């Protein structure tokens, strides 16, 4: 039994490390898909997010998300990290790994939710406003919402299912990203087309995210169970590949161009889509789910960009919100043990809560200290305006069919 406990604990620590690598992936993807004059700003935000996310989750987030017995809507186990009576094992996982490992794994998820917002509001948000938004969102909003399912709250009691967070992490962060991008407005020069500065870096970032997703989904098994863990890794990988291929075909059909940025977002779309049901849908189902996600992301990016005129530099809203919703609803379509209508109720609950919190925070900031830099700062770039330095010189842009 001690050997099994040790194996489970090591796997969960490794999974936490893989999810940590995703932050490097987000940093590379976001900086590669945006203009070089804003690279330092984007990297700074990613550094801030992981540091603030871990510390606030330790201070109160973990106890809000897993409060023990509570009313199903909000509970609190106390400030700081408080191991149970046994000091090391966590009773709600049958002692599969230590309390400390559980905190580490869940803290990586909390920080991930914020990186989604970072990409959508890139290149024109004030750094101090972004920082002020992040603290209450990661310290209170995300953990309270997470408790509704993962902490044994009212949605868990109703039978809502979200294995690793298609909605709880991705759509929740994606809704906040949509609100932020809408209130900020489009970047200067968007109507003429804005080019990605470093598509090789964006590609590296995407593959790092794919790698990290093995920990994101594989670790959500909450043990090193050989059959279930390997199965989840297979469905995750198949959905990612299907999403990438589907986005390539869809964008080729619409634009007659082989758009690399769409292929990258298609991979991420497949990953987000399968995250809710990686352990409960069939192998062929995972391919279908990833394929639909890969096609949806192309249509969603075009709709937001060309019809709704919402400027999302990296496609974060389409990848995380659109495909997060799709993946969660897909559980109700492809798994006989889960209700589509309960899945829909869960999605609606999370989107409403995230929308209300995000709008309140962003709108308050907009009408007090402001959320957007002035035109001069935006034109010279946030690296010089906010940080007084530049990432590198002599950069040339690379084009995307949808001007991401």
Tens digit of each residue's pLDDT (9 = 90 or more) over 194-207 = 999 999 999 999 99
- The model's confidence at residue 6, banded by pLDDT at 50, 70 and 90, is confident
State the chain's mean pLDDT as an integer: 93
What pLDDT, on a 0 to 100 scale, did the predictor assign at position 255? 93
> In the numeric block, which tokens belong to residue 16?
């936490």
Region 295-323: mean pLDDT is 97
Cα separations in angstroms, 142 against 21, 78, 112, 151, 311? 21, 17, 11, 12, 24
Cα separations in angstroms, 382 against 225, 266, 312, 315, 385? 47, 29, 17, 20, 5
- The model's confidence at residue 163, banded by pLDDT at 50, 70 and 90, is very high
User: How far apart, in whole angstroms, are the C-alpha atoms of residue 106 and residue 216?
Assistant: 10
In tens, the pLDDT along 229-285 reads 999 999 999 999 999 999 999 999 999 999 999 999 999 999 999 999 999 999 999
What pLDDT, on a 0 to 100 scale, did the predictor assign at position 398? 40
Residue 85 pLDDT more than 60? no
Question: Among positive and negative, which fits the CA dihedral 82, 51, 124, 165?
Answer: negative
What pLDDT, on a 0 to 100 scale, did the predictor assign at position 84? 57
3-state helix, strand, coil in the chain (%, to 5): 70, 0, 30
Residue 404 pLDDT more than 60? no
Residue 97 pLDDT more than 90? no
What pLDDT, on a 0 to 100 scale, did the predictor assign at position 278? 98
What pLDDT, on a 0 to 100 scale, did the predictor assign at position 172? 98
- The model's confidence at residue 82, banded by pLDDT at 50, 70 and 90, is confident
Taking CB atoms within 8 Å and a gap of at least 24, the contacts of 52-56 are 52/111, 52/114, 52/131, 52/134, 52/135, 52/138, 53/107, 53/110, 53/111, 53/114, 53/138, 54/107, 54/110, 54/111, 56/110, 56/135, 56/138, 56/139
- The model's confidence at residue 2, banded by pLDDT at 50, 70 and 90, is confident
Which CATH architecture group holds 2-383?
A: Orthogonal Bundle (1.10)
Residue 39 pLDDT more than 50? yes
Residue 93 pLDDT more than 80? no
How is 2-16 classified by DSSP, letter by letter?
HHHHHHHHHHHHHHH
Q: Which residues pair with 173 in a beta bridge?
A: none
What pLDDT, on a 0 to 100 scale, did the predictor assign at position 394? 52
**What is residue 168's three-state secondary structure?**
helix
How is 83-145 classified by DSSP, letter by letter?
--TTSSB-GGGTTSSBHHHHHHHHHHHHHHHHHHHHHHTTTTB-HHHHHHHHHHIIIIIHHHH
Residue 51 pLDDT more than 50? yes
Domain boundaries of the chain, sorted by first residue: 2-383
Orientation of helix 283-302 relative to helix 260-274, angle to 10°? 130
What pLDDT, on a 0 to 100 scale, did the predictor assign at position 86? 41
Residue 87 pLDDT more than 60? no
What pLDDT, on a 0 to 100 scale, did the predictor assign at position 266? 98
Residue 168 pLDDT more than 70? yes
């Amino acid at each position: 039994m001690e050997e099994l406990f040790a194996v489970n604990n090591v796997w969960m620590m490794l999974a936490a490390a893989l999810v940590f690598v995703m932050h490097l992936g987000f940093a590379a993807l976001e900086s590669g898909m945006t203009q070089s004059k804003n690279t330092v700003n984007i990297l700074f935000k990613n550094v801030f997010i992981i540091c603030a996310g871990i510390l606030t989750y330790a201070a109160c987030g973990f106890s809000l998300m897993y409060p023990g017995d509570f009313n199903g809507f909000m509970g609190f186990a106390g400030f700081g990290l408080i191991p149970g009576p046994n000091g090391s094992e966590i009773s709600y996982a049958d002692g599969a790994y230590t309390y400390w490992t559980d905190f580490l794994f869940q803290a990586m998820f909390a920080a991930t939710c914020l990186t989604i917002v970072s990409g959508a509001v890139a290149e024109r948000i004030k750094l101090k406003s972004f920082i002020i938004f992040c603290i209450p969102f990661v310290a209170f909003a995300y953990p309270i919402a997470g408790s509704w399912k993962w902490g044994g709250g009212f949605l868990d009691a109703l039978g809502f299912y979200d294995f690793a967070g298609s909605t709880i992490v991705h759509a929740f962060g994606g809704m906040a990203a949509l609100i932020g991008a809408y209130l900020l407005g489009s970047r200067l020069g968007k109507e003429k087309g804005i080019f990605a500065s470093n598509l090789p870096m964006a590609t590296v970032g995407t593959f790092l995210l794919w790698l990290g997703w093995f920990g994101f989904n594989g670790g959500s098994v909450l043990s090193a169970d050989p059959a279930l863990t390997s199965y989840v890794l297979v469905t995750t990988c198949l959905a990612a590949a299907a999403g990438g291929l589907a986005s390539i075909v869809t964008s080729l059909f619409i634009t007659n161009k082989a758009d690399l940025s769409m292929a990258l977002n298609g991979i991420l779309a497949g990953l987000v889509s399968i995250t809710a049901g990686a352990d409960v849908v069939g192998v062929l189902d995972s391919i279908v789910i990833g394929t639909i996600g890969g096609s949806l992301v192309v249509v969603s990016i075009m709709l937001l960009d060309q019809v709704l005129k919402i400027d999302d530099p990296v496609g974060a809203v389409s990848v995380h919100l659109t495909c997060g919703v799709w993946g969660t609803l897909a559980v109700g379509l492809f798994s006989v043990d889960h209700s589509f209508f309960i899945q829909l109720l869960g999605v609606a609950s999370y989107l409403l809560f995230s929308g209300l919190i995000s709008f309140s925070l962003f709108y308050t900031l907009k009408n007090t200290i402001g959320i957007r830099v002035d035109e001069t700062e935006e034109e010279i770039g946030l690296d010089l305006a906010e940080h007084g330095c530049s990432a590198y010189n002599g950069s040339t842009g690379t084009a995307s069919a949808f001007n991401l």
